[in-house]
Amino acid sequence: MKKDIAELVSFIIRGSNRSIILNSLSLEELTPSQIKKRTNLYLSHISRVIQELLDKKLIICINPSSPVVKFYAITKKGKEVVEFVKKYKKE
């Protein structure tokens, strides 16, 4: 595992909400409201985590120019991190 990926895996594991949201986005593209319905997390927590994941380039906003409903998707790097997190949690 590369050092940058290892740091990202550690970052995700340290925050349960990060792991939950990243896993949700690994299955399909979602809006924050859809994430809320599936995870029962507070929208304010979802918004904060989305910003963290965007900053780490683990997810992207598919339609950034949309003023209201924004869809988010996992990046290739995000998928790689999810796979390592799953392996880590199995051990």
CATH number of the domain within which 7 lies: 1.10.10.10
Write down the pLDDT at residue 43.
96
Q: pLDDT tens for residues 41-90? A: 999 999 999 999 999 999 999 999 999 999 999 999 999 999 999 888 77
Report the alpha-carbon distance of residue 89 to residue 50 in Å, rounded: 22
Report the alpha-carbon distance of residue 39 to residue 68 in Å, rounded: 21
Q: What is the pTM of this model?
A: 0.92
Domain count, the chain: 1
Averaged over 18-28, what is the pLDDT?
95
The boundaries of the domain holding residue 67 are 3-90
* Orientation angle between helical segments 16-27 and 43-55, nearest 10 degrees: 80
